[in-house]
Amino acid sequence: MTSTHSTRVDVVVIGAGLAGLTAARELVAAGRSVAVLEARDRVGGRLLNHDLGDGQVTEIGGQFVGPTQDHILALAKEVGVATYEAAVPCERVYVRDGKARRFAGHTPPDLLALPDMGIALARIGRAAGKVPPAAPWRAPNARDLDGMTYETWLRKAEVTGDAVDLINIFLNSAYGGEARDASALFSLWYVSTFGDEIHPGTMERGTGTSGGAQDSRFVGGSQLVATRLAEELDGRVHLSAPVRRISQDADGVTVVSDAGDWRADRVIVAVPPLLASRIVWDPLLPPQQDQLFQRLPFGTLMKCVAVYDTPFWRAEGLSGMGLLRGGSPIREMFDNSPPDGGPGVLMGFLGGKEWRKWAHRPAGERRGAVLRSFAQVVGERAYDTVDYVEQDWTAEQWTRGGPTSVAAPGVLTEYGEWLGRAFGRVHWAGSEFSPYWNGFMDGAVRSGRHTATELLHQS
Amino acid sequence: MTSTHSTRVDVVVIGAGLAGLTAARELVAAGRSVAVLEARDRVGGRLLNHDLGDGQVTEIGGQFVGPTQDHILALAKEVGVATYEAAVPCERVYVRDGKARRFAGHTPPDLLALPDMGIALARIGRAAGKVPPAAPWRAPNARDLDGMTYETWLRKAEVTGDAVDLINIFLNSAYGGEARDASALFSLWYVSTFGDEIHPGTMERGTGTSGGAQDSRFVGGSQLVATRLAEELDGRVHLSAPVRRISQDADGVTVVSDAGDWRADRVIVAVPPLLASRIVWDPLLPPQQDQLFQRLPFGTLMKCVAVYDTPFWRAEGLSGMGLLRGGSPIREMFDNSPPDGGPGVLMGFLGGKEWRKWAHRPAGERRGAVLRSFAQVVGERAYDTVDYVEQDWTAEQWTRGGPTSVAAPGVLTEYGEWLGRAFGRVHWAGSEFSPYWNGFMDGAVRSGRHTATELLHQS
């Protein structure tokens, strides 16, 4: 806890994810001296490339981008990272209770579930349209919506079990959970954030591949954007520097890390709210903000990646994309191969309830179950892996869950106004603080910019 | 983080609340060497006496005990702390929308709300009776009940708005929140814990004064039980020793605190789950346990205490007890005078939604509003205070909320089995871990005993 020396800068940024790095970039551009302190030995936060050898990578963290995510898209362009279309133009597979059916386009071939899903999307769209992305607690019926789970709301809206199950497949990856884990207000708000200032958020954009949030990927992997930003910051990013204590006084802020102490006029905390609340604060966080952070747990998400010599499924007219219902650990999967079609990569989300069932089982048993899911979508060759990798975000010390923070009933209406409210000389950034693409890369970049601007206007 | 010396004991107990002190007592009785590390400069955790002068005290933390709470009652007797009847045998006051009515007995004079309340209690009783206190996730309809808030369940059970409001008055103090903050399963389980192995839990016992959970108080204040336990432990309790890091290896556990390091065979962590999750763990907490602890936020509760020369209301036939509905910050209040009727003390709970409304307002404004509530119950002399004290448990660094931890939907069924599961050489204790009187003093004592026994059987 003691130290003999502290390094003086204008602003300390805590966390070298996209939000922190973006904020630091803006501050440096405005002439401020900045130190970015990162707990891990790498940058990128919830973005993580996995090396496939021969200069090829795939991602085992956040990876998709799409239209209306202009902030991350423009930033990537600025640092020289290109995008490519994520979806392979081949057929997808819909598995229900073990029976696989191929289909073209976005719409799974389920005559029973589809009309229900259409009605559900219309009702969700109408309700989400009334929730203001920047202040969901001001929605006309905010208090009612925040008194129930999203599962309850869906049932009240007469969304059928079939449609709820399909929605849960999406929430499995989007929340690392299910409709019951979040309040109705949070969930409708979340839909309202799938857009920008001009394009109102829609469920279709959030769940979509071409034209939606899963439209594109980054050449070189999403983490490359963070790596390039860190390179630009040229020595200002300090790795393996977990912050243990933040002390504010009348003259400035002292930040105590395992890699030394820093002294700054202002601090941007750009780590998830949960982790921010685990830092020692002096003075303490305001009770309302601490209470809010107590109520923003992470979902549970693991990415399971199988590597093959080639994307063999494409030759059979398959895109590698699958939706699986009825007991398989993987409920949503994608072709995650690099752009030039070298090794073939399949990636499945093991999230929410399935994570809770599978995460503590023996690794071999889980791998077998995951490859069985993959085999239902691309056939028996799914077992012929060159490599198999799992990334369990709940086991990562400096994330402890994934993909984002989810609010249960009662949280947004009672504490939402404290989200992002500066605490003395301490400002907040991170995807969880963004009114658009909250929980996505674009939200992180937006938030980093917003907070840098807020800070520059105040000092 | 570094230290040159660590003190060696058989067991380190972290937290000198009732659970930790009880566990330490049992371990010492079994011949183990023990060190109790307490972050505060006092023992008692969520129990806190307030000195009224002249050897008199009142409580600004947990204070009530009643029948079936045999563990705390027996323990208090053993350490020489007597009980006395909490309720003054005079009339109570029911305030609705500013109109006050006196009444005798337990039942507020509200012809509209009462029949509803009777039906509500019957329905709650029937549903709670099906929830096993030691494993609520095994209730026959656990998954359904855990998919909705308690508010949703009450509405589905056709409990009227009037009855929900009365139930929320109780939850205001019991949860520091409302029915929407908790899952239906958690809430029905909570009712099932208002009893013991022989007497099934009932809402009536949880909310009752004479014969219920608010039956009695301790002479000398509830914290005296903890103080006596600490005296018995004779030098084994180390104050101002917040624990920052817990490291386990094959041979034992190292506990790093601000007051030095300890080395032990085993550790009992007897602080609330939220605070346990803010310690640095090496190795990390298992993901499932960390996820559970991410999902056990504290409620919000402040105790407001006004002191008078005498309990003047008694001469007017008033018990000082009041139930207030319709916008007053205090919704439930009690005569909190010491047993021999020296100074008069009124105590009101400012919890849940009202805390969220009032906690950040100027102290003088809040004091005025609280005394206005008191005046509605005991008359204008309520303003003639000798002293006025507030204890905001959310602002306490080593609690950060009150009175207990509350689980939102999806938590008990998905993570409940991890509650209290030992992590290597680390065992858990605290009121949150008890199947009876969870969140109460009795639950803390039960849990401390249970965990000490578990540990003694394993080492």
B354 to chain A, minimum CA–CA distance in Å?
Answer: 10
Mean pLDDT, residues B200-210 taken together? 95
- As a whole number, the mean pLDDT across chain B is 96
Stronger pLDDT, A361 or B2, i.e. the higher one: A361
Q: How many Å apart are CA B356 and CA A16, to the nearest integer?
A: 33
Name the B residues in 49-108 with CB < 8 Å from any A CB.
Answer: none
B148 to chain A, minimum CA–CA distance in Å?
Answer: 6
Query: To which residue do tokens 């803390």 refer?
Result: B444
Q: How many Å apart are CA A349 and CA A403, to the nearest integer?
A: 11
Q: How many Å apart are CA A173 and CA A162, to the nearest integer?
A: 18
Asked if A291 and B300 count as a contact pair (C-beta separation under 8 A), the reply is yes
Share of chain A above pLDDT 90, in %: 93
- Residue A332: CB partners within 8 Å, gap ≥ 6? A169, A170, A172, A173, A322, A323, A324, A348, A349
Whether residues B321 and B199 share a domain: the answer is no
Distances (CA, A) of B102 to A68, B109, B110, B211, B382: 62, 8, 11, 21, 17
Nearest to A148 among B148, B181, B290 (CB): B148
Q: Which amino acid is at B12?
A: V
Whether residues A122 and A202 share a domain: the answer is yes
- Judge whether A336 lies within some domain: yes
Whether residues A276 and A191 share a domain: the answer is no
B235 to chain A, minimum CA–CA distance in Å?
Answer: 26
- Judge whether B385 lies within some domain: yes
Residue B2 confidence class, pLDDT cut points 50, 70, 90? very low
- When divided into structural domains, chain B yields a total of 3
Mean pLDDT, residues B308-330 taken together? 95
Question: What is the full DSSP assignment across B304-362?
Answer: EEEEESS-GGGGGTEEEEEEEESS-S--EEEE---TT--SEEEEEEEEHHHHHHHTTS-
Query: To which residue do tokens 């398959």 refer?
Result: A318
Task: Inform me whether the C-beta atom of residue B157 falls under 8 Å from chain A C-beta atoms.
Answer: no
Predicted confidence (pLDDT) at residue A1 exceeds the cutoff of 70:
no
Q: Which of A207, A239, A273 is the last residue of a domain?
A: A207
Length of chain A: 459
Domain containing residue B139: 113-207
Q: Is A403 helix (H, G, I), strand (E, B) or coil?
A: coil
Mean pLDDT, residues A91-103 taken together? 95
Predicted confidence (pLDDT) at residue B368 exceeds the cutoff of 60:
yes
Whether residues B328 and B338 share a domain: the answer is yes
Whether residues B312 and B399 share a domain: the answer is yes
CB pair distance less than 8 Å for A291 and B297: yes
Closest B-chain CA to A352:
B414
B253 to chain A, minimum CA–CA distance in Å?
Answer: 20
- Residue B45: CB partners within 8 Å, gap ≥ 6? B15, B16, B17, B18, B19, B20, B61, B226, B271, B398, B399, B444
Task: Inform me whether the C-beta atom of residue B247 falls under 8 Å from chain A C-beta atoms.
Answer: no
**Residues from chain B contacting residue A408 (CB–CB below 8 Å):** 408-410
Whether residues A260 and A353 share a domain: the answer is no
Predicted confidence (pLDDT) at residue B216 exceeds the cutoff of 60:
yes
Distance of CA B42 to the CA centre of its chain: 18
Task: Inform me whether the C-beta atom of residue A109 falls under 8 Å from chain B C-beta atoms.
Answer: no
**Residues from chain A contacting residue B159 (CB–CB below 8 Å):** none
Query: How confident is the model over A221-266, as pLDDT tens digits?
Result: 999 999 999 999 999 999 999 999 999 999 999 999 999 999 999 9
3-state secondary structure A10-37: EEEEECCCHHHHHHHHHHHHCCCCEEEE
Whether residues A272 and A124 share a domain: the answer is no
Interface test mutation site (partner A, options B151, B165, B291, max chain A beta carbons within 10 A): B291
Query: How confident is the model over B409-443, as pLDDT tens digits?
Result: 999 999 999 999 999 999 999 999 999 999 999 99
Nearest to B395 among A258, A287, A395 (CB): A287
Region for residue A172 given its phi and psi (left: phi exceeds 0; alpha: psi -120 to 50; beta: otherwise): alpha
Task: Inform me whether the C-beta atom of residue B297 falls under 8 Å from chain A C-beta atoms.
Answer: yes
- Judge whether A324 lies within some domain: yes
Question: Running DSSP on this structure, what letter comes out for residue B193?
Answer: T
What own/partner pairs with CB < 8 Å and gap ≥ 24 does A115-122 have? A116/A159, A116/A160, A116/A162, A116/A163, A117/A162, A117/A163, A117/A166, A119/A158, A119/A159, A119/A163, A120/A154, A120/A157, A120/A159, A120/A160, A120/A163, A120/A164, A120/A167, A121/A203, A121/A204
Query: How confident is the model over B257-295, as pLDDT tens digits?
Result: 999 999 999 999 999 999 999 999 999 999 999 999 999
CB pair distance less than 8 Å for B181 and A149: no
Mean pLDDT, residues B224-250 taken together? 98
**Residues from chain B contacting residue A148 (CB–CB below 8 Å):** 148-149, 151-152, 180
The pLDDT of residue B84 is 97
**Residues from chain B contacting residue A293 (CB–CB below 8 Å):** none
The pLDDT of residue B111 is 82
A167 to chain B, minimum CA–CA distance in Å?
Answer: 15
- As a whole number, the mean pLDDT across chain A is 96
- Judge whether A131 lies within some domain: yes
Interface test mutation site (partner A, options B148, B165, B180, max chain A beta carbons within 10 A): B180
Nearest to A408 among B397, B400, B409 (CB): B409
Task: Inform me whether the C-beta atom of residue A300 falls under 8 Å from chain B C-beta atoms.
Answer: yes
Whether residues A307 and A396 share a domain: the answer is yes
What own/partner pairs with CB < 8 Å and gap ≥ 24 does B362-369 have? B363/B390, B366/B329, B366/B390, B367/B304, B369/B328, B369/B329
Q: Which amino acid is at A353?
A: K
Bridge partners (DSSP) of residue A446 are none
**Residues from chain A contacting residue B291 (CB–CB below 8 Å):** 297-298, 300, 394, 400-401
Closest A-chain CA to B357:
A414
Residue B395 confidence class, pLDDT cut points 50, 70, 90? very high
Cα radius of gyration rounded to whole Å, chain B: 22
Query: To which residue do tokens 């077992």 refer?
Result: A383
Nearest to A149 among B147, B294, B401 (CB): B147
Task: Inform me whether the C-beta atom of residue B354 falls under 8 Å from chain A C-beta atoms.
Answer: no
CB pair distance less than 8 Å for B394 and A290: yes
Q: Is B457 helix (H, G, I), strand (E, B) or coil?
A: helix
Asked if B259 and B37 count as a contact pair (C-beta separation under 8 A), the reply is yes
Name the B residues in 169-188 with CB < 8 Å from any A CB.
Answer: 177-178, 180-181
Q: How many Å apart are CA A385 and CA A139, to the nearest integer?
A: 49
Whether residues A189 and A311 share a domain: the answer is no
Predicted confidence (pLDDT) at residue A459 exceeds the cutoff of 80:
no
Domain containing residue A19: CATH number: 3.50.50.60
The pLDDT of residue B342 is 83
Bridge partners (DSSP) of residue A269 are A14, A428
**Residues from chain B contacting residue A410 (CB–CB below 8 Å):** 149, 177-178, 180-181, 408
CB pair distance less than 8 Å for A291 and B394: yes
Q: Which of A207, A239, A270 is the last residue of a domain?
A: A207
A88 to chain B, minimum CA–CA distance in Å?
Answer: 35
Residue A164 confidence class, pLDDT cut points 50, 70, 90? very high
Interface test mutation site (partner B, options A40, A149, A245, A271, max chain B beta carbons within 10 A): A149
Bridge partners (DSSP) of residue B391 are B303
Residue A4 confidence class, pLDDT cut points 50, 70, 90? low
Closest by CA to B170, choosing from B133, B198, B138, B207, is B207
Q: How many Å apart are CA A87 and CA A236, to the nearest integer?
A: 37
Predicted confidence (pLDDT) at residue B149 exceeds the cutoff of 60:
yes
The pLDDT of residue A2 is 46
Count of A–B CB contacts within 8 Å? 115
Query: How confident is the model over B49-74, as pLDDT tens digits?
Result: 999 999 999 999 999 999 999 999 99
**Residues from chain B contacting residue A178 (CB–CB below 8 Å):** 410
- Judge whether A52 lies within some domain: no
Closest by CA to A149, choosing from B250, B172, B183, B354, is B183
CB pair distance less than 8 Å for A149 and B151: no
Q: How many Å apart are CA A287 and CA A278, to the nearest integer?
A: 14
Domain containing residue A394: CATH number: 3.90.660.10
Whether residues B317 and B417 share a domain: the answer is no
Predicted confidence (pLDDT) at residue B307 exceeds the cutoff of 70:
yes
Task: Inform me whether the C-beta atom of residue A259 falls under 8 Å from chain B C-beta atoms.
Answer: no
Q: Which of B150, B174, B207 is the last residue of a domain?
A: B207
Domain containing residue A156: CATH number: 1.10.405.10
- Judge whether B293 lies within some domain: yes
CB pair distance less than 8 Å for A415 and B356: yes
Whether residues A410 and A293 share a domain: the answer is yes
Q: How many Å apart are CA B44 and CA B19, to the nearest integer?
A: 9
CB pair distance less than 8 Å for A147 and B353: no
**Residues from chain A contacting residue B278 (CB–CB below 8 Å):** 277-278
Interface test mutation site (partner A, options B356, B390, B404, B411, max chain A beta carbons within 10 A): B356
Query: How confident is the model over B17-47, as pLDDT tens digits?
Result: 999 999 999 999 999 999 999 999 999 999 9
Whether residues B137 and B259 share a domain: the answer is no
CB pair distance less than 8 Å for A177 and B410: yes
- Judge whether A89 lies within some domain: yes
Nearest to B409 among A149, A258, A294 (CB): A149
Closest by CA to B46, choosing from B405, B421, B408, B292, is B405
Nearest to B409 among A180, A298, A300 (CB): A180
Closest B-chain CA to A143:
B180
- Judge whether A31 lies within some domain: yes
The pLDDT of residue B1 is 43
Closest B-chain CA to A256:
B1
